[in-house]
Amino acid sequence: MKKIGLLVLIVTLAAGFFYFDLNQLLTLQGLKSGLVEFEAWRRDSPILVGGAFLLLYVIVTALSLPGAVIMTLAAGALFGLLWGTLIVSFASSIGATLAFLVSRYLLQDMVQSRFGDRLKAFNEGIARDGAFYLFTLRLVPIFPFFLINLLMGLTAIRALTFYWVSQVGMFAGTLVYVNAGTQLGQLERLSGILSPSLLLSFVLLGVFPLIAKKIVDLVKARRVYAGFTKPKSFDRNLIVIGAGAGGLVSAYIAATVKAKVTLIEAHKMGGDCLNYGCVPSKALIKSAKVAHQMRHAENYGLNSSEPTFSFKKVMQRIHDVIAKIEPHDSVERYSKMGVDVVQGYAKLIDPWTVEIQLNEGGTRRLTARSIVLATGARPFVPDLPGLDEVGYVTSDTLWETFAKLDEPPKRLVVLGGGPIGCELAQSFARLGSVVTQVERSSRIMRREDEEVSKLAQESLVQDGVIMLTSHRAVRCEKEGESKRLIVEHDGQESTIEFDALICAVGREARLDGYGLENLGIETKGTIVTNDYLETLYPNIFAAGDVAGPYQFTHVAAHQAWYAAVNALFGTFKKFRVDYRVIPWTTFVDPEVARVGLSEQDAKEKGIAYEMVRYELDDLDRAIADSAAKGFVKVLTVPGKDKILGVTIVGEHAGDLLAEFVLAMKHGLGLNKVLGTIHTYPTWAEANKYAAGEWKRAHAPQRILNWLEKYHAWRRG
């Protein structure tokens, strides 16, 4: 209501301005013809006229009315160079700031909520360099004054910053125009004020800060290298540390473009994903799912039976799966590609030198023009009293430790309700363990919408997981062979007896032991990088879990492209890493897959959205598979065919998501998904039906009403 009031006031004042023909007065001719009269007023009462002039100037600029240039000339003609400049300098900055505040008050929320996701990078740029951009714009008076005020109001720049940067930045331009005003009699046209050479000077003045900034950046970049002696020549173009997804892809790209590259891995080629993460966990999930299906075979018209199996064989299968995939990431494969693979522990000596503690013994030093750090992350182990005494496994140790067991642990505690904890809890419950999952917050998989957490929790509980949300692990105790976890809930402690404990409370980037500290490379939970994935040293890059902010294999591979390309070709062209469309899946059953915004995200960020849902209990294939559970939920820009985010819960959700990932990446909307033929009967049809729901919600009702009348008329 207040906004409407303000809008009405502005429109009324603007209408009055034109109604009383003030716009005629604020022309060069109008000014010239009225000048004698104005001067007489000024002579009679200089302070009053000066004050009134300042006020009028503020009103004209605050309302973004045309005439500021003429008023600036008038200031010169009436008050002379010194006072004219002083009055205009303050009046224009105050007026500009008022226009800025009006624009911010009326429009900023709307613009940010509508385009907030796309404006993210822009907002970050403004937060970082907004004052600088504004200064550059203000220096060059060819950029429309009122437009800068209104557009800046939509950004996140602080009002005070806007004010003083405007005042300083506009000073030179003000001086030129006020000076021109002191010779108003000789001035025939406005365009005459800015001669081509003066205009060029202004442009140069505007470009100067940009050039200065580049030079400052360059000097800053050089300064970090002070104290180091850069080698005259390098052994390699690129050294990559860590052979997980991030490192492998970096090395692969470098070898493909014929760079000389060394890839250093201290432990196993393939890193966490192949050896301790995605691959073994998905192999385990498959065995657990088969056991689950046997137990519920009556769903398919068969006799249900309690699965009997050798746990050793289940674990052996997991290691067989790893062994089958291993050749994809092997030393042999990468050596054939032209990558020099070295097995050993790497340490940064200086920005170009890496020392390797070779696994076979001895050390070796190599230099490279650029280095990619892809050293990954490791399980975070909380400082829980008694934990070491009772013993625990993490994703790093589980696969070896449990491979020695004849049976799954009878009573298993899973600490942590994130994706890894949930996948493992459900799998072991399905394989027969009595699993208690402990999560400190009020729900599991907190990153997803509440209804998603609820569905996932229901599934896990149905599979027998004892779910303790809002429970904090307090300590572990051991008495003889008996192991206990003490948890606290609502101020009350309770005890869980267990045989094995999986610690899955998150993963922390590997940041120590390989020279980051010595080189002063900044870390904040992960290695701090800029948009190009450069660390403090522009020739040292980071990719994957160690760089964050995501911890997925596909993101590590995605970042690796940017790290490797910027490392090798950054002198010519650098690419900003693009995080706009990042998908992920949690492989609980039913799977939870997401790309882009969830409802929770949209609300937190204040982004306006429309939502459509398609329930999988309606999908023919889901019914045929007796798996009619879950939904496809799509968020779109209100009134537009633009996808903001998709969450799918259901069987094959991770695979189904791919169509939406493609659509979002390439700017395709739901009309395009709907217009694409999907094979019947497939799970992928769910995507088409979700798009259909959206179409129905946006049906042109008025046209349809007319069509109804038309058809009635045709029937006679």
Ligand X SMILES: Cc1cc2nc3c(=O)[nH]c(=O)nc-3n(C[C@H](O)[C@H](O)[C@H](O)COP(=O)(O)OP(=O)(O)OC[C@H]3O[C@@H](n4cnc5c(N)ncnc54)[C@H](O)[C@@H]3O)c2cc1C
Residues in touch with ligand X (CB under 6 A): 241-247, 264-267, 271-273, 276-278, 281, 345-346, 374-377, 395, 420, 510, 514, 544-546, 551-554, 556, 587
- Shortest Å distance, C-beta 569 to ligand X: 22
Give the C-alpha distances (Å, rounded to integers) separating 182 from 71, 177, 245: 12, 9, 69
Based on CB atoms, which residue is closest to ligand X, 17 or 561?
A: 561
Pick the closest to residue 675 from 650, 694, 657 (CA basis). 694
Are 559 and 544 within 8 A, CB to CB?
Answer: yes
Burial classification of residue 40, based on how many CB atoms lie within 10 Å of its CB (0-12 exposed, 13-18 middle, 19 or more buried):
exposed
Residue 235 exposed, middle or buried by CB count within 10 Å (0-12, 13-18, 19+): middle
Q: Write down the least CB distance from residue 593 to ligand X, Å.
A: 11
Shortest spacing between CB 433 and ligand X, in angstroms: 17
SS3 at position 480: coil
User: Please, which residue, 347 or 621, has the CB nearer to ligand X?
Assistant: 347
Give least dist CB 281 to ligand X, A: 4
For Cα atoms 534, 535, 540, give the angle at the middle one, nearest 5 degrees. 75
Please report where in the chains the tokens 């049809």 appear, as a residue.
Answer: 685
Minimum distance of ligand X from residue 286's CB (angstroms) = 13
To the nearest whole angstrom, how small is the minimum distance from the Cβ of residue 345 to ligand X? 5
Rounded CA separation 410/136 (Å): 69
CB of 335 to ligand X, least distance (A): 17
Contact by Cβ (8 Å): 177, 89: no
The nearest distance, CB 86 to ligand X, in angstroms, is 59
Cβ proximity to ligand X, 322 vs 546, nearer residue: 546
How many residues make up the chain in this entry? 716
Q: What angle do CA 159, 4, 103 make, to 5 degrees?
A: 25
3-state helix vs strand vs coil in the chain, percent to 5: 55, 15, 30
Alpha helix segments (H runs only) across 154-227: 159-169, 171-182, 196-223
Is the CB of 152 or the CB of 371 nearer to ligand X?
Answer: 371
The nearer residue to ligand X, 148 or 420, going by C-beta atoms, is 420
Residue 164: closest CA among 243, 249, 100, 229? 100
Question: Which one, 26 or 288, has the nearer CB to ligand X?
Answer: 288
The nearest distance, CB 464 to ligand X, in angstroms, is: 21
Distances (CA, A) of 497 to 384, 401, 503: 16, 20, 15
- Identity of the residue, 162 or 587, whose beta carbon is nearer to ligand X in the bound complex: 587
Q: How far apart are CA 706 and CA 716, in angstroms?
A: 16
Residues 228/543, Cβ–Cβ less than 8 Å: no
Nearer to ligand X, 286 or 695 (CB): 286
Tell me the β-bridge partners of 240. Answer: 263, 372
Q: Between residues 272 and 685, which has the closer beta carbon with respect to ligand X? A: 272
Distance separating the N- and C-terminal Cα atoms of the chain: 50
Query: Smaller CB distance to ligand X: residue 65 or 243?
Result: 243
Q: Which is nearer to ligand X, 283 or 622 (CB)?
A: 283
Q: In whole angstroms, what is the distance from residue 683 CA to residue 653 CA?
A: 9
Comparing C-alpha atoms, which of 210, 265, 270, 260 is closest to residue 235?
260
Shortest distance, position 595 Cβ to ligand X, whole Å: 13
- Biggest distance spanned by C-alpha atoms of the chain: 107
Residues 6+ apart with CB under 8 A from 708: none
Rounded least distance, CB 67 to ligand X, Å: 59
Tell the smallest beta-carbon distance from residue 238 to ligand X (Å).
15
The owner of tokens 């224009």 is 92
Pick between residue 395 and residue 436 the one whose CB is nearest to ligand X.
Answer: 395
Smallest distance from ligand X to CB 350, Å: 16
* Nearest CB to ligand X, comparing residues 180 and 238: 238
Question: Strand, helix or coil at 404?
Answer: coil
| Least distance in angstroms from the C-beta of 494 to ligand X | 28
Give the CA distances from residue 3 to residues 147, 606, 616, 714, in Å, rounded to whole numbers and listed in that order: 20, 19, 44, 49
Name the nearest CA neighbour of 672 among 681, 686, 653, 659: 659
Q: Measured from the CB atom, is 379 or 538 closer to ligand X?
A: 379
